[in-house]
Structure 1
Amino acid sequence: MITYSEDDLLLLSGIQHMAFCERQWALIHVEQAWAENVRTIDGKHLHERTDDPFEDETRKDIRVVRAMPLVSHKLGLRGVADVVEFYRVEDALEGITLRLGKRKGWWRPSPVEYKRGRAKLDDRDAVQLCAQAIALEEMLKVSIDTGYLFYGQTRRRETIFINQSLRVRVEELSEKMHKMMSEGTTPNAQKGKHCTMCSLIEICQPNLTIRKHSVKEYLARMIDSEVKDV
């Protein structure tokens, strides 16, 4: 099993980009390109309350921790969980519960990720949540079987089961992220309906970049052309 060093860690949140579109992930994380649309701005607003590492609370038998740092050397990912909820139980469950300082009882953790819009037809949100769960398992030495996705548009919380097939999908995506980063490669555009939802469509230019050229090469040609016209 590969164990990644601190220098090799990639952003955990990027796994949703990889699940959505490999080219999008490479544009953001390899070529350092970024653009915002109404969806990304909306998402920032939704996360404002959760992104305070000093804000947490206890409600009856639930301990809520916000903006919890995460790291998984198994996946080679680091990031921040929007919310981690710890549920108190009276009896210890080996490999499932843990102690929380001097608080009474035993506690079961579950990650909660906040998303704008509504539940997706694909698994991009689920893989991000699963990666968070795997990081928590590694850090806390417990097993997590459930996480939650909260959607801002529908105001509903969806239960996600952290099953074996989802774990395998996360491992495959993280391996692909590290391979592409080490090679410095950006895949060709795969044009589809998902392109209309992408904040990077103007940078990606899927109609123009189907051929084997990177965005940097495309921009360089455009700049060179403009210079010659001056």
Structure 2
Amino acid sequence: MLSGIQHFAFCRRQWALIHIEQLWKENVLTFGGRQMHRNADDPFFTESRGDLLISRSVPLVSHSLKVYGIADVVEYHRSDTGVAISGREGYWTVVPVEYKAGRKKPDDRDEVQLCAQAICLEEMYRTRIEKGYLYYGKTRRRTEVLFDDEIRRRVAELVAGMYELYDAGITPPALLLPHCKNCSLIDLCMPNVSSRRRSVDRYLADSIRGD
């Protein structure tokens, strides 16, 4: 699933717990995100504002990446060049928009998810998408994301890593890191217990070797 790329970029163990072991637990952050997405998840909604069309809950697929999913919002801006849309005159530039309940993250998990959506839309419309937007509920602002070669390579690497773990059926071991406190799966993952256990195992192994 396309949405898994955000989990994978945040924590590979979290991704495996969700997508391999089929575990899930809600917290205040995931609940807020689900409520925000509920407002955007209307697959029959299309809004027209002059030279702007807005579609919600748009199905996506990429055969090159081998992912599928749903875009929160896709905007179509009238332009001199772009793609043709059934039932509409002229040409339109395609712009994906992803809604997030919180603030901008310190890593690239949101950006790679949006870029993956853009790659799907590029294949579906046979066009090139240069940018998209992340809308954050806490700040109520849009952040522009440019889809350059670097982020596209990053998306391809993450998807390849997802398939590698999925095909092997491997759930990576837990690591206690600062971002663990914001993870809804912390009680299922138990990074405190797992990290302490590995420390004890290393100590015993070193003692046996005489290190």
TM-score (normalised: structure 1)? 0.84
Which deviations, in whole Å up to 9, do the C-alpha atoms of 1:136-182 show, x marking residues without a partner? 00111000010000000100000000111000000000000011000
Equivalent residue number for residue 144 of structure 2: 159
Structure 2 runs not aligned, ≥5 long: 199-211
Please show how residues 48-59 of structure 1 align to structure 2 within 5 Å: 48-59=38-49
The separation in 1 between residues aligned to 2:179 and 2:147, in whole angstroms, is 25
2:18 to 14, 28, 44: 28
**How far is 1:100 from its partner?**
1.0
The separation in 2 between residues aligned to 1:156 and 1:47, in whole angstroms, is 16
The separation in 2 between residues aligned to 1:166 and 1:193, in whole angstroms, is 24
Q: What is the root-mean-square deviation of aligned Cα atoms in Å?
A: 1.0
1:208 to 189, 193, 198: 193
Which structure shows the higher helix fraction?
Answer: 2
What percentage of aligned pairs have identical amino acids? 53
Structure 1 runs not aligned, ≥5 long: 1-10, 213-230
**Residue 73 of structure 2 is aligned to residue 83 of structure 1:** yes
Match of 1:142, SS? coil
Equivalent residue number for residue 178 of structure 2: 193
**Residue 11 of structure 2 is aligned to residue 15 of structure 1:** no
- 8 Å Cα contact 2:175-2:194 kept in structure 1: no
* AA at the equivalent of 2:113: Q
The farther-off stretch of 202-211 and 132-141 is: 202-211
Equivalent residue number for residue 127 of structure 2: 142
* AA at the equivalent of 1:49: N
TM-score (normalised: structure 2)? 0.91
The aligned length equals 197
Structure 1 segments, 4+ long, off by >2 Å, are 209-212
The separation in 1 between residues aligned to 2:175 and 2:2, in whole angstroms, is 23
**How far is 1:84 from its partner?**
0.3
**Residue 103 of structure 2 is aligned to residue 113 of structure 1:** no
